[in-house]
Structure 1
């Protein structure tokens, strides 16, 4: 094995701060450029060195061996500060217990129950749109996904003001978690306006969710949802504490809301740039739904709609990067990697390499036609991660995204507002900033029966 000191270093490093400016200002282009330098590339973030994995098979090795490549490092250490130590963030030592506890909440029977709630929340939002209205697409999609998570996963009703406050606070944590990756711990503790806002948002969210838990505990009723399962769980003879339950609720609310909302918003943006894709989508939803609401009974027949969501996840995966930290000396790509090394894997980088996907910067849902997938495609398509730590809510998110896109496309045609500049927002989830679109009723404009 070769010592990791011989791993090529990414260009563009600055004294003291390293590659932090590139990761803050243009993370997607910076990450996708690294594969030209090697299968593993060193980047400098302040005084710390991290290794970026630029090869599909090495990424797969990292994902499969979650004991050696444990959750930790820059991203997860900072995200834990905001969201706690729930299933998506906890280290290997507590992951298996948490996974066994929560898995039944996402089984087939549970997903079928959630589908009706999804449909209700989707239509409660899009039925309020007005022909010719300019909408902030990301905000509208966050409204849909937040309401769905609250109703189906947390089983709790919040007022309009409470829900709006929660959305703002989760946004503050999402932006803050990513930016704090590049700050020395001492700076993260200073009483700056950003740090104060971050801590206040975290405190308000935990207070709101703790109040919901206390209401449940005092009610004495058993609920078949995530919160109910967590409150009833007694692993190893002990009940989860309220703080542990809040940790789970925090990360599931955030992941379920932000990731799916970003995917839906990006899909609507990308569809609008491809008239042939939009025509094919409208043709499918008109034929399948035939004027009926998008429900789980139509899911299997919405094949093209699903391909659009899948291609959106390839083109703009919700997470631009994730980090791991090595717990033992290991070999990665022929290099000797020491204990405590931070490893960075990037779904965006994997999804945009020509060796993994042909024409990677072309949005093409037809690439997901029912044909055998290549080994490179299977190994490199990781929008939900992979291995033992693959997102437990992947099927929940896919179902919600497909139903929402079908519902929107059956009733509305969205066109970009002239002059609007859409850019990828720098936060824990990659989402489209400035995505303003005009909603035109398909029923009013093209005679659709929907």
Structure 2
């Protein structure tokens, strides 16, 4: 998915594609009286695949103008796009038992296998999630914090004053290195990091392309298809090799992979290497892309909003008071947390899917069993009914009294319900530690005349993000 849209590089103004902002608190309930236009026009054979490929963010953001449930075609496949947060909440939470993972997640199974949390549903998903959940609780993930801080410091250690830093690559490198350290604990692997770095973007983009295009497109003998298949094979082999090394007798494992190899099912049998591989690959696909993109976009927004950046750096300096970022002291970084929350709103995953297992009623619409349903966190997060001036970067929209007014389903950066991202707390800790660690020592300012574009892969990424690195000395509490 290569289509993109420009992000202004100067002042945080509303995006020109955005509709007028709501001036009063909107109703959270779908309205039968709301004006509906006919659905977006489709082309023969490919349906809406062309506008989705050409301008995916614009396409999903405009769907709400057609109604709360909008018919869309992905090639010959008819789907229903749900655009109202109350109905999305029904799909993900209150009626979740009537849905399974849809086409998009089945495509993810072609990459990471059929046993990861990203692709499973029902009893299998529930059992595996219950088994994995303890490993993502605070008492476990805090053990990964030092590795995250070290990864960040290693990436920035060779920066020079005035150097142009490719922040998008830097953020991905931090996310990848942090993931591998979390997986392998005290024995980080440059080989596994290199494989992930080389192939995860190919897998992410190929996944979204295959979800949108007809099935036969993936079978064509095209270079992109061959590259995609090679990336699958190489990445799977690298993870399998790491699992084999982890299982060797006498290996002292302190990372998440060690916990997975020690996992037992209800009958006391160890999990198979294939099952562990699938979970690791889905964790990498879901975690690295989101975390790296969010970190990069945060630096982008700080660079073009100097007042917000100054306020964040002041909080980091005076809260940490010269100490490194840890799970304990970052909990006091409340404004930094709002900055990250706003970044997650502004640059969310743009497309996800579910499939009905029985007839389901959403608002005025009854969907038969087997209906593919799509929803877009990106579109919900940019709907001016819920977020006035949605293209303005405003961390203070997350002050408690404002955030409480949002309807359920309007803000879902990690999903919701039984399929909510299991690693959300780990991702937030990683982003906060990396952000605070960099901001203590460096200013990152945008290069003039270099607009940044949003590129839709699995998540929304910057097409490039060169920034100038300027060293700074953090102020202590006692300093003026």
Equivalent of 2:419, from 389, 401, 407? 389
C-alpha contact (below 8 Å) 1:101/1:230 kept by paired residues? no
Tell me what 1:252 maps to.
Answer: 283
Instruction: Give the gaps of 5 or more residues in structure 2.
Output: 1-35
How far is 1:187 from its partner?
A: 2.5
Q: Does 2:111 align with 1:79?
A: no
Tell me what 2:211 maps to.
Answer: 181
* Between structures 1 and 2, the one with greater helix share: 1
TM-score if structure 1 supplies the norm length? 0.93
Alpha-carbon separation, structure 2, partners of 1:245 and 1:338: 35
Change (3 A) 1:161 1:151: closer
Tell me what 1:331 maps to.
Answer: 361
Tell me what 2:26 maps to.
Answer: none
Indicate the SS of the match to 2:212. coil
Q: Does 2:459 align with 1:432?
A: no
C-alpha contact (below 8 Å) 1:150/1:157 kept by paired residues? no
Tell me what 1:89 maps to.
Answer: 119
Tell me what 1:272 maps to.
Answer: 303
Trace 1:30-429 onto structure 2 (pairs within 5 A).
30-64=59-93, 65-73=95-103, 75-85=104-114, 86-155=116-185, 157=187, 159-160=189-190, 162-221=192-251, 223-237=253-267, 238-317=269-348, 319-371=349-401, 373-429=403-459
Alpha-carbon separation, structure 2, partners of 1:103 and 1:219: 26
C-alpha contact (below 8 Å) 2:381/2:410 kept by paired residues? yes
Deviates more, 1:383-392 or 1:84-93: 84-93
Indicate the SS of the match to 1:235. coil
C-alpha contact (below 8 Å) 2:180/2:189 kept by paired residues? no
Deviations 1:54-107 (A, max 9, x none): 10110000001332121122x112121112230122122410111011111111
Deviations 1:210-235 (A, max 9, x none): 11111111224463532222212221
C-alpha contact (below 8 Å) 1:12/1:19 kept by paired residues? yes
Deviations 1:335-379 (A, max 9, x none): 110011110011111111122122222110011123263453443
TM-score if structure 2 supplies the norm length? 0.87
Indicate the SS of the match to 2:393. coil
Deviates more, 1:380-389 or 1:423-432: 423-432
Instruction: Give the gaps of 5 or more residues in structure 1.
Output: 1-6
Indicate the SS of the match to 2:328. helix
Tell me what 1:3 maps to.
Answer: none
How far is 1:155 from its partner?
A: 3.2
Change (3 A) 1:372 1:378: farther
Deviates more, 1:108-117 or 1:417-426: 417-426
Alpha-carbon separation, structure 1, partners of 2:376 and 2:263: 34
How far is 1:126 from its partner?
A: 1.8
Deviates more, 1:55-64 or 1:221-230: 221-230
C-alpha contact (below 8 Å) 1:116/1:296 kept by paired residues? no
How far is 1:236 from its partner?
A: 2.9
Deviations 1:400-424 (A, max 9, x none): 1111111111111111122323111
Change (3 A) 1:443 1:219: same
